[in-house]
Amino acid sequence: MVFRWFFLTVVSCLSISSAAAETPNIVLIYCDDVGYGDVGCYGAKAISTPNIDRIASAGVRFTDGHCASATCTPSRFAMLTGEYAWRKKGTGIAKGDANAIIQPGTETLASVLKKAGYRTGVVGKWHLGLGEGKVDWNTAIKPGPLEIGFDYSFLIPATGDRVPCVYVENHHVVGLDPADPIEVSFDGPVGNDPTGLDHPELLKMKWHHGHNATIVNGISRIGFMSGGHKARWVDEDMADVITSKAVNFVDQHAAASKDQPFFLYFSYHDIHVPRVPHPRFVGKTSLGPRGDAMVQLDWCTGQILDTLEKHGLDKNTMVIFSSDNGPVLNDGYYDDAVEKNGDHKPAGPWRGGKYSNFEGGTRVPFIVSWPGHTAPGTTSDALVCQIDFMASFAELTEQTLGDDAGPDSLNTMDALLGRSATGRDHLVEHARALALRQGHWKLIEPNAGPAKNQNTNTEVGAANGAQLYNLSTDPGETKNLAKDSPQRVQQMLSALNALRRDNRSRPVKQTNWSPWWIRTPRPETRLQPWSCCARHNSPSLRPWLV
Ligand code: NG6
Ligand code: CA
């Protein structure tokens, strides 16, 4: 009898648990250099973004949503691996011929979803390195996304402004003529292609800083490239090309099996430099190419939303819209971004932008919609970060992350869906230095240096001493309160150092399990369930440990 009761209880627990696993399709729309204030539903007046606003009207728009770093490679590394990039050497802005930064065998957001039965794809900007050793672009290029959990990839290998200027589909350059092999170098010239430095008369967009090496499609790039002429991309067509690949991925899914969920990481080139939108978008804003590229980006968003609707997939698809770092105007080309900006505020109310430790560096547009699960048209002030996607989706799909996987990824799914007003209780923001958020308090650690990025003119948040800001009364980070609150500064510096020292934010799971009746009650070593929120979990933030 007792056995029967026990058996039924176990069975019913199991069935409850499997009924709780949810596997919506997931479309992660990831922009490049789009700032908080560049999107209509975040207050942009000079740019209209009806399609992005459609996502917001079906879901939750976050006001305190972050990428993990203020530049691309480390942000993407953190989002895909659930580990802060500042913990790992070699995760700074990657060269165009960088080797794969995420090693095969590393658990990633894609591999977690693949284990849950998803078909996984990445389309667009990669910028996390490909291959190993001296990369040969004329043979199979691996490892890459396919070796870390993606079933399909169609890539801009690094950035639009770096060679090689070709697309890579799965392991191969698209449209490569074997008689015209590709060679790439970041150390010195290769081949005979003209450079922007020697032949400015050949340029349709002039370089301002950097970006003066090989000319491709009338635009000089970072790095040297020869060969692969037929395979080279045309910047004006890039948004159309990658959008058609993303749409194909969804179409194929719809044709093959609606039962298998899919995860599409759709990673735009826009609005990174060089900003060269298709002629049909030119002049759509008063802001020049930067604003017009934003209109193009919104169009791409509409295409993918329409495709979901066409197949009736929208009802069970979670759409996430965000950006890899804050905004920048002049990032290396004369494209009128500064001259035509007028009173547009790319970072919205936040100070700084790309490259900055001020909020503008990492506080970006962040929208989540999932019909039937997110309340339409809502706003959340919860502190959320892309680094948490991994643990949050592991939880949603009822998987347990290993201790080595995603060490800084916390399950914040309730906040992401707007079910809870509380997200993280702390976050490390990464630019040239580290900054710690604890609620509305923000500490930027001492980092001496010029106040502005000398190329882009962005305020980077440098200062000899610590900076402490109260974002609830001073969202623009104008009053440094460090001298008034030395104790808080000390507490936050030690918490930051403890996060560094611990090598993780999510506590390890308890492995030496023993029955409760023989456990020693020692609060300082008792570990909390990993999926709980950071407030209860982070060893670094428990004051009795720091
Ligand atoms: C910088 C480039 C900048 C941009 C950035 C990467 C120079 C002087 N600046 O080094 O133009 O390419 O790297 O941007 O070369 S990111 O959004 O991909 O991180
Ligand atoms: Ca970027």
Give Cα separations from 424 to 66, 125, 383, 404, 532 (angstroms): 11, 28, 5, 21, 11
State which residues have CB under 5 angstroms from ligand 2, the bound ion: 32-33, 72, 324-325
Task: List, in order, residues 6 or more apart from 451 with CB less than 8 Å away.
Answer: 459, 460, 462, 463
Q: What is the pLDDT of residue 16?
A: 34
- Where residue 491 sits, what CATH number does that domain have? 3.30.1120.10
- Among 207, 331, 333, which is best to mutate for testing ligand 1, by the most ligand atoms less than 8 A from CB? 331
Whether pLDDT at 228 is above 50: yes
Domain check: are 339 and 433 in the same one? Answer: no
The Cα–Cα gap between 158 and 107 comes to: 22
Domain-embedded: residue 100: yes
The Cα–Cα gap between 355 and 458 comes to: 7
Task: List, in order, residues 6 or more apart from 145 with CB less than 8 Å away.
Answer: 110, 122, 126, 153, 155
What percent of the chain lies above the pLDDT cut of 90? Answer: 88
Domain-embedded: residue 121: yes
DSSP string, 136-198: -TTS---SSGGGTT-SEEEEE-S-TTBS--B-EETTEETT--TTS--EEESSS--SS--BTTT
- Check if the beta carbon of residue 69 is closer than 8 Å to that of residue 363: no
Q: What is the pTM of this model?
A: 0.91
Domain-embedded: residue 15: no
Pocket (CB within 6 angstroms of ligand 1):
32-33, 71-72, 93, 127, 159, 161, 209-210, 222, 272-273, 325, 331-332, 455
Whether pLDDT at 280 is above 60: yes
pLDDT bracket for residue 257 (50, 70, 90): confident
Cα(269) to centroid(ligand 2), Å: 9
Domain check: are 439 and 382 in the same one? Answer: no
Number of H helices, E strands in the chain: 10, 20
Domain check: are 132 and 90 in the same one? Answer: yes
Q: What is the pLDDT of residue 510?
A: 61
Domain check: are 468 and 498 in the same one? Answer: yes
The Cα–Cα gap between 256 and 237 comes to: 28
- Among 67, 272, 325, which is best to mutate for testing ligand 1, by the most ligand atoms less than 8 A from CB? 272
Minimum-distance ligand 1 atom for the alpha carbon of 159: 18
The Cα–Cα gap between 511 and 192 comes to: 60
Rounded mean pLDDT of the chain?
Answer: 91
Domain check: are 40 and 180 in the same one? Answer: yes
Domain check: are 311 and 441 in the same one? Answer: no
pLDDT bracket for residue 20 (50, 70, 90): low
Domain check: are 125 and 199 in the same one? Answer: yes
The Cα–Cα gap between 341 and 35 comes to: 13
Segment among 2-6, 56-60, 190-194, 274-278 with least mean pLDDT: 2-6
Q: What is the pLDDT of residue 21?
A: 73
Minimum-distance ligand 1 atom for the alpha carbon of 325: 17
Rg for the chain (alpha carbons), in Å?
A: 24
Domain check: are 243 and 268 in the same one? Answer: yes
Q: What is the pLDDT of residue 259?
A: 83
Task: Tell me the average pLDDT across 279-303.
Answer: 98
Number of domains the chain is built from: 2
Largest CA distance in the chain: 89
Domain-embedded: residue 240: yes
Domain-embedded: residue 514: no
Q: What is the pLDDT of residue 525?
A: 27
Atom 5, ligand 1: residue with shortest CA distance: 93
Domain check: are 467 and 408 in the same one? Answer: no
Whether pLDDT at 112 is above 70: yes
Backbone angles phi, psi at 435, to 5 degrees: -130, 145
Nearest CA to 118 out of 55, 56, 28 is that of 28
Domain check: are 68 and 124 in the same one? Answer: yes
The Cα–Cα gap between 273 and 292 comes to: 12
- Where residue 114 sits, what CATH number does that domain have? 3.40.720.10
Cα(343) to centroid(ligand 1), Å: 25
Task: Tell me the average pLDDT across 323-346.
Answer: 98
Give the number of the ligand closest to the Cα of residue 208.
1
Domain-embedded: residue 545: no
- How many residues does this entry show for the chain? 546
Whether pLDDT at 60 is above 60: yes
Domain check: are 450 and 390 in the same one? Answer: no
Segment among 124-138, 247-261, 358-372, 416-430 with least mean pLDDT: 247-261
* 401-460 pLDDT tens trace: 999 999 999 999 999 999 999 999 999 999 999 999 999 999 999 999 999 999 999 999
In the block, tokens 């301002």 appear at 208
Atom 12, ligand 1: residue with shortest CA distance: 161
* 460-512 pLDDT tens trace: 999 999 999 999 999 999 999 999 999 999 999 999 999 999 999 999 986 55
Cα(159) to centroid(ligand 1), Å: 8
What percent of the chain lies above the pLDDT cut of 70? Answer: 89
Domain-embedded: residue 469: yes
Domain check: are 397 and 445 in the same one? Answer: no
Domain encompassing residue 155? 29-344+378-416
Whether pLDDT at 8 is above 70: no
